[in-house]
């Protein structure tokens, strides 16, 4: 066997290992959860409207988020409700993520992806979400969307007993999350200028 043949053999073996690695069911990426958050300007009047809006959009019961610190300049005291959020998990989360990505024309900035497998973006008006109509009693609200990607086995970092860290080779890198979002949802990644 010549040197060139040996190098070619090593290169093909490396490709086979990579394809085997991608075929491993424990390496498959999936949507873990989708969190939708609305922060409000006026803590008293606006929180109820945001609550009704999220309930109408998702069909789930939202949770009111409370201030942890006081800010006198904004009239916020500790324990005052200042926002609303809802978490969606499982297959429903994946379907809802598809709907929310259509609201931003399936275009995300490169800065929307982090190194832990999370995708974050904002929607300026809830009217951009397909199938949602304007309600004059609610008004106009924007929202923040966080999509968490995970692999099978990520439960070890959330479980109650014998909690452990995710190994560095099992974590989701930025490139992997971008590739998953392109393949699964058909998004376009836009460079920030």
For residue range 142-153, list pLDDT tens digits in order. 899 999 999 998
Using CA atoms, how far apart are residues 15 and 11, in angstroms rounded to an integer?
Answer: 6
Residue 79: name the closest of 61, 91, 67, 64 by CA. 67
pTM of the shown model = 0.82
Indicate the SS3 state at residue 94.
Answer: helix
Burial bucket for residue 181 (CB in 10 Å: 0-12, 13-18, 19+)? buried
Task: Measure the CA angle with vertex 94, ends 93 and 95; round to 5°.
Answer: 95
Whole-number Å distance between alpha carbons of 191 and 181:
16
Asked if 82 and 65 count as a contact pair (C-beta separation under 8 A), the reply is yes
Winning range, highest mean pLDDT, from 22-26, 125-129, 130-134, 147-151: 147-151
pLDDT at 101: 93
pLDDT digits (tens, 9 = 90+) for 74-120: 777 888 888 899 999 999 999 999 999 999 999 999 999 999 889 99
Per-domain boundaries in the chain: 26-190
* 97 compared with 13, residue with greater pLDDT: 97
- Which of 36-50, 52-66, 142-156 comes out lowest in average pLDDT? 36-50
- Of all residues in the chain, the percent with pLDDT exceeding 90 is 48
Lowest mean per-residue pLDDT among 71-75, 83-87, 161-165: 71-75
What is the CATH code for 26-190? 3.30.1440.10
Please give the structure tokens belonging to residue 191. Answer: 């460079």
What pLDDT band is residue 132 in, cutting at 50, 70 and 90? confident
User: Strands 63-66, 81-89: parallel, antiparallel or unpaired by DSSP?
Assistant: antiparallel
CA–CA distance, 56 with 188 (Å, rounded to integer) = 29
pLDDT of residue 120: 95
């Amino acid at each position: 066997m010549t040197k060139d043949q040996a190098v070619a053999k090593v290169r093909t073996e490396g490709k086979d290992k990579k394809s085997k690695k991608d075929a491993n069911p424990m390496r498959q990426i999936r949507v873990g959860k989708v969190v939708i958050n609305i922060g409000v300007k006026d803590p008293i009047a606006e929180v109820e409207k945001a609550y009704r809006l999220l309930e109408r959009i998702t069909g789930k019961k939202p949770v009111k988020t409370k201030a942890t610190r006081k800010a006198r300049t904004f009239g916020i005291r500790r324990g005052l409700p200042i926002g609303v959020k809802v978490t969606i998990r499982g297959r429903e989360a994946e379907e809802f993520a598809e709907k929310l990505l259509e609201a931003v024309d399936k275009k995300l900035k490169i800065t929307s992806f982090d190194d832990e497998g999370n995708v974050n973006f904002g929607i300026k008006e809830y009217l951009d979400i397909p199938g949602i109509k304007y309600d004059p009693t609610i008004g106009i609200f924007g929202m923040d969307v966080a999509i968490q990607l995970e692999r099978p086995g990520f439960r070890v970092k959330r479980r109650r007993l014998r909690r452990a860290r995710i190994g560095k080779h099992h974590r989701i890198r930025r490139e992997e999350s971008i590739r998953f979002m392109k393949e699964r949802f058909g998004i376009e990644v836009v460079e920030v200028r």
